[in-house]
Amino acid sequence: MVTEAELAGRVKRLDQFVADQIAAGEVVERPASIVKELIENCLDAQASSIEVRTEGGGSDLVWVRDDGRGMVAEDLNLALERHATSKISSAEDLLGVASLGFRGEALASVASVARVVLTSKDAASTQGARIEVHGGKLLSQAPVAANTGTTVEVRDLFFNTPARRKFLKTDRTETAQIDMLVRRLSLAHMDVAFKLRQAGAKRELVLPSAAVEERLSRVLGPDFIDESIQIDEARDEYRLHGWVGLPNHNRRQTDQQYFYVNGRAISDKLVGHAVRQAYSDVMFHGRHPVFVLFFELPQSAVDVNVHPTKHEVRFRDARAVHDFIFASMHRALRDVRPSAGLDEATGPGPAKAQLFSNTNFSNSNFPNTNAGRQIPLATGEPALHRELPGGFAQMVAEAEPEFLQSDDVPTANQEIPPLGYAIAQLHGVYILAQNEQGLVLVDMHAAHERVTYEKLKSQLDGEIARQRLLVPIMLDVSERDAQLVEELQAEFQEELQRCGLVMERAGLTSVAIREIPALLHERNVAATAKDLIAEFANYGTSDELQRRELDLLASMACHGSVRANRKLSIAEMNALLRDMEQTENAGLCNHGRPTYFQQSIDDLDRLFARGQ
Ligand code: ADP
Ligand code: MG
């Protein structure tokens, strides 16, 4: 006799239920993964129109109907079995998978953790068939009247594994996730019509087929088409086509990056790297490009059988793929650069400014890199500050720069403030100033960002001073973002107001901003608001929001701050220097980069080897 204790350490075969649950766990991570698998099946069945409905964020119901080729009655049973597929039949087939599915386990996995009803009819049959399976157990099977195509109904996800049900995210999160997923899949299949109706979502998503521009604008916002360039590059067996967002059409998050390999939405480190590299010298650090790109290569050059969710692929020649993607995008971006963002009327556009973002001096040129942080901050009111009561922020906010004469600079007998007086502006990026020790070099954007941030922060104890706009700023956003604003309004109105922002949804893809922090200039609010919406999307709860308030302020400050390449008058520059002296942490911008360097006359002498 074997005792129970001995048995405990022995190898046993798992019973079918446990084995199924483990397998299902890989495919059915959350309701959105069911929607993905079901839609992929429709696409594989050549559907021209796909309709999706959900309830309870998909955990109560996922319903998907297509008008694809359907199945014959005998196949319904098989379709629900594990490792049963019509898409491949041999191991060699695995090397050239052209369909989205091929593992034959999606339906089986879903059926083992939910109540599934499958109805289908192929074009040759006069009657359809219906099969009902609960937690993997067959309940009924019968002929039924049906149109050609397939309908799958999935109810009560994880009803037989309550422990997993507890791990489901809130309905709202899932609803949003499903919405995003459908949009993502729809981009790769412009010739297929999609319809998504979710209980709990205010609107239905209707994407008619073939309306490419409309689809792009519904997913990426109406300005994307104008703010992007269309590319189509081919070399040897590779082709890359789609839309590449202009560098100034960037985002704080990577949430608008769509990359498809042979029609399959994937996320891939290698691809990500190639893209980042292509944008690297035209994009601010910490910002992310927007793009929709389709990469096509022979099926045999890519392995899609890497992961059950098929989000990843492996390229046969990773290096060549990387280089091709990088080169194609780099070329496209290089071609647009000279004309981008040179709009004189509104000052230089961000694209131009970004060109300068990498123009930082290497530390080796400046032996004394930390000196900036050691400058004592002024106590008491510096002379010029008194003459400019609103400080630099006010000046930037209120007026286009007027050019003051150099006699605004105080005379020699006045006490020189720690950061000295401005002499000139260099390349629209740096302020050159002279103080007692020698030369002060200020990164004006970084410095202003820090000043604005600290001011906003100091107001946060109460509520940030708001300014009501006479004419609201209308913002074009993606439909998803507009929806978010609508939800935010309902749930986080107070938090938003505390941050100084009052906005509301104004239409399907538009948002109206009615009040803004008094410290920010109207001009910069659009970009700020877009960032904030993207961030709110990630926080979800007001607790989290409160914890992130400082992040939000930092992001507002970043946009609210004077951009590189903006011409400043000497008076404005001096005002900024005075503001910096009064600001805590003025030596570093919010991203931890220095805001200024001090070069003493001695340092300069040494640089020129004087007196040696
Ligand atoms: P896979 O897609 O990997 O083959 P699934 O479990 O998703 O595996 O589906 C099993 C089989 O059921 C498919 O190979 C296909 O033959 C059939 N099937 C599933 N969904 C549909 C559909 N919407 N229309 C037609 N056939 C379908
Ligand atoms: Mg499938």
**Where is 206: in which H helix or E strand?**
strand 205-207
Task: Compute, in angstroms, the gap from residue 106 CA to the centroid of ligand 2.
Answer: 5
Ligand nearest to the CA of 104: 1
In this structure, the residue with its CA closest to atom 27 of ligand 1 is 41
417 is written with which tokens? 């403030």
Tell me the CB-side half-sphere exposure of residue 143, using CA atoms within 13 A: 4
Cα 610 to Cα 326, 606, 607, distances in angstroms: 47, 6, 8
Distance between CA atoms of residues 577 and 580, nearest Å: 5
Task: Compute, in angstroms, the gap from residue 153 CA to the centroid of ligand 2.
Answer: 15
Cβ–Cβ < 8 Å for 581, 382: yes
Helix 570-581 vs helix 391-398: crossing angle, to nearest 10: 140
Check residues 173 and 488 and name the one with the higher pLDDT. 173
Burial of 16 (0-12, 13-18, 19+ CB in 10 A): exposed
Residue to probe by mutation, ligand 1, list 43, 85, 89, most atoms within 8 Å of CB: 85
Check the CA dihedral 272-277-282-287 and report its sign. positive
pLDDT in tens, 376-392: 333 333 333 333 334 55
Residue 131 has pLDDT above 90, yes or no: yes
Task: Compute, in angstroms, the gap from residue 55 CA to the centroid of ligand 1.
Answer: 23
Q: Is 79 in the pocket of ligand 1 (CB under 6 A)?
A: yes
Buried b (16+ CB within 10 A) or exposed e, 107-138: bbbbbbbbbbbbbbbbeebeebbbbbbbbbee
pLDDT in tens, 78-92: 898 887 888 877 777
Residue to probe by mutation, ligand 1, list 44, 52, 69, most atoms within 8 Å of CB: 44
Helix 479-491 vs helix 525-539: crossing angle, to nearest 10: 70
Give the model's confidence band at 553: pLDDT under 50 very low, under 70 low, under 90 confident, else very high.
confident
Domains and CATH numbers, the chain: 16-201 (3.30.565.10), 223-335 (3.30.230.10), 345-368+382-460+557-607 (3.30.1540.20)
Residue 172 has pLDDT above 60, yes or no: yes
Assign 3-class secondary structure to 224-279: CCCCEEEEEEEECCEEEEEEEECCCCCECCCCCEEEEECCEECCCHHHHHHHHHHH
pLDDT in tens, 224-271: 999 899 999 999 999 999 999 988 788 888 889 999 999 999 888 888
Percent of the chain topping pLDDT 90: 31
Distance between CA atoms of residues 483 and 185, nearest Å: 19
Q: Is the pTM of this model over 0.85?
A: no
Task: Compute, in angstroms, the gap from residue 265 CA to the centroid of ligand 2.
Answer: 15
Cβ–Cβ < 8 Å for 331, 240: no
Averaged over 447-459, what is the pLDDT? 82
Q: Is 136 in the pocket of ligand 1 (CB under 6 A)?
A: no
Quick one: pLDDT at residue 189?
A: 95
Distance between CA atoms of residues 512 and 485, nearest Å: 10
Q: Is 587 in the pocket of ligand 1 (CB under 6 A)?
A: no
In this structure, the residue with its CA closest to atom 8 of ligand 1 is 104
Quick one: pLDDT at residue 525?
A: 74
